[in-house]
Structure 1
Amino acid sequence: MIYELMISSCYPDRYWFQYVSTGDDYYELLQCKKIQSNNPIVFKLEKKVSEKRLLSYDFYFSDGPEFISPRLANLLSNNQDFLHDVQLIDATIIVNGRSYSGYKVLNFLRLISCIDMNKSEYVPILDYLPDGPKKFYKMVLKENINEQFCMARCEESIGRIMMSESLRQFFIKNKVKGINLSKQYIDNDFIFSY
């Protein structure tokens, strides 16, 4: 069974970070290729927040890529299966004017086919690009995926991140905070996919 990486319902709106470009274009992170980067990717939080509460999370969301806490990066640094699928890129966050390092951007290196297009309902976003981005009315995940993976981008909807049951269990065991770890299936109306 596979799951979509989804934000936790407990993740406050005020914790959405602004992606600050450091020369590495966000588009590069959608290519499923390793990136050579000498500068950390920077994220900034404009709103005043409780740093103690904010820093207790492990997954963070932004208007750019997803990134993880130093604690989760440390836990995953010894997981060779995870590191085969995901490159960890240095990130720095700026909160209440203070800079914090040790965070890692997730650069997904795998692309797998995971949506059952025969059972899903969708239309092309652009009529003249029938094989381009889709607008899903109903999305059904494939039940039998033979490929072994921890995390990967979804081939049919590249902006969606999928995770394996074993990685989900790892996150549950380690009390990872910030993502939805319940067994939910995709059933959203008017999903825009890229």
Structure 2
Amino acid sequence: MIYELMLGNYPDSYWFQYDSTVVDSYEFLQCKESQSNKQVVFKLENKVSEKRLLSYDFYFSDGPDFISPRLANLLSNNQDFLHDVQLIEATIIVNGRSYSGYKALNILRLISCIDMNKSEYIPLLESLPDGPKKFFEIVFKENINEQFCMARCKESIGRIVISESLRQFFIKNKVKGIDLYT
């Protein structure tokens, strides 16, 4: 079984801005390993409680998603995860202070996982009926034979899915910031 990676009890004020001058956001949608060795930067313009914000493990931005040093450390020995995801050094800036040890997720796997016959959608552009889709309801394929931990959906590149084993790993380690129960 697969699950869409979804926000879970994640405040709007915690959405980061991605500094795309170092690595373009588009590169994170290519499912290819980044050759850049530059550290990426995420900034939070809102004034927030740093203690509360830094208690999260999974973060969202207007660019790639990223994870806490705690979660990066937990995943550092998970070879299946590291086969599917490149972790890129990241710094976050909150209330004018810099924090290092964060990792941006560059997802390397692309799998066909949406059942297009059972899902409801329309083409995003009428002139490109086979191009990007706007989904109203998504039904995932039931029997995906491909082994993966985390991947992008071939039918909707912006969507990220996780495997049951990764979901269980996140539940066991009480990962905060994503919804693991839907």
TM-score (norm 2): 0.98
Alignment-derived partner of residue 187 in structure 1: none
Alignment-derived partner of residue 189 in structure 1: none
1:100 alignment partner, SS class = strand
Q: How does 1:6-45 map to 2 (within 5 A)?
A: 6-8=6-8, 10-45=9-44
Gaps of 5+ in 2: none
CA distance in 2: counterparts of 1:37 and 1:22, whole angstroms: 12
Deviations 1:53-100 (A, max 9, x none): 100000000111100000000000100000000000011000010000
Contact kept in structure 2, 1:22 and 1:42, CA below 8 Å: no
CA distance in 1: counterparts of 2:21 and 2:98, whole angstroms: 15
Q: Which amino acid aligns with 1:138?
A: E
Displacement of 1:38: 2.3
Pair 1:4 & 2:4 matched: yes
Q: Which amino acid aligns with 1:41?
A: V
Question: May I ask how many residue pairs the two structures share in their alignment?
Answer: 182
Alignment-derived partner of residue 112 in structure 1: 111
Contact kept in structure 2, 1:22 and 1:39, CA below 8 Å: no
Q: Which amino acid aligns with 2:7?
A: I
2:87 alignment partner, SS class = strand
Deviations 1:92-129 (A, max 9, x none): 00001000000000000000001000111111111111
CA distance in 1: counterparts of 2:18 and 2:43, whole angstroms: 7
Displacement of 1:50: 0.8
Q: How much identity, in percent, do the aligned residues show?
A: 82
CA distance in 1: counterparts of 2:112 and 2:20, whole angstroms: 30
Q: How does 1:24-173 map to 2 (within 5 A)?
A: 24-173=23-172
Displacement of 1:25: 0.7
2:90 alignment partner, SS class = strand
- List structure 1 segments (4+ residues) > 3 angstroms apart after TM superposition: none
Q: Which amino acid aligns with 2:90?
A: A
CA distance in 2: counterparts of 1:137 and 1:177, whole angstroms: 27
CA distance in 2: counterparts of 1:138 and 1:21, whole angstroms: 31
CA distance in 2: counterparts of 1:77 and 1:22, whole angstroms: 27
2:152 alignment partner, SS class = strand
CA distance in 2: counterparts of 1:169 and 1:23, whole angstroms: 34
Deviations 1:120-154 (A, max 9, x none): 11111111111101011221111110000000000
TM-score (norm 1): 0.92
Q: Which amino acid aligns with 1:69?
A: S
